[in-house]
Amino acid sequence: MVEGVQRRQAGTTERYDVFHTDCAARDVVDHVTSRWGVWVLISLRSNSLRFYELRESIQGVSEKMLAQTLRALVQDGLVWREVEPTTPPQVTYGLTEFGRDVGEPLTELFDRITRRLPPRDAG
């Protein structure tokens, strides 16, 4: 896992230069703020989900895009993946500590947005 990509380089006080194109933290930000990355982090905020449950919770995402997004978030250390050796395999995903830390402000952002939107019509 790449959980060391968090805020600072391991063992130093030097911060990542996120404005530099070669910065590892920049890739993580791109994955988190991608079209589906945000929704994955928000969907997993309360509990772990199997792949199909996650796909059903995020309307509009294709299996291919969800798989690609999850692969990137697992590689970044934001999401963990567990495979149960059954036929077919059951794959469960959840947030790591790093993923919960990153996902918390996203949840707050969406809560603020939905509180400020005008009420939806019931009909």
Q: Which residues of 28-53 are buried (b: 16+ CB within 10 A; e: fewer)?
A: beebbebebbbbbbbbbeeeebebee
pLDDT reading at 2 higher than 60: no
Classify 111 in phi/psi space as left (phi over 0), alpha (psi -120 to 50) or beta: alpha
In which order are the strands placed within the sheet that holds 90-95?
A: 49-50, 90-95, 79-84
Instruction: Give the tens place of pLDDT for each residue, 48-77.
Output: 999 999 999 999 999 999 999 999 999 999
Instruction: Give the tens place of pLDDT for each residue, 82-103.
Output: 999 999 899 999 999 999 999 9
Spatial contact of 109 and 117, defined as CB atoms under 8 Å apart: no
Single-letter residue type at 117? L
pLDDT reading at 13 higher than 80: no
DSSP state, 9? -
Determine if the pTM surpasses 0.85: no
Cα separation values, 121 from 34, 59, 84, 117, Å? 30, 21, 44, 12
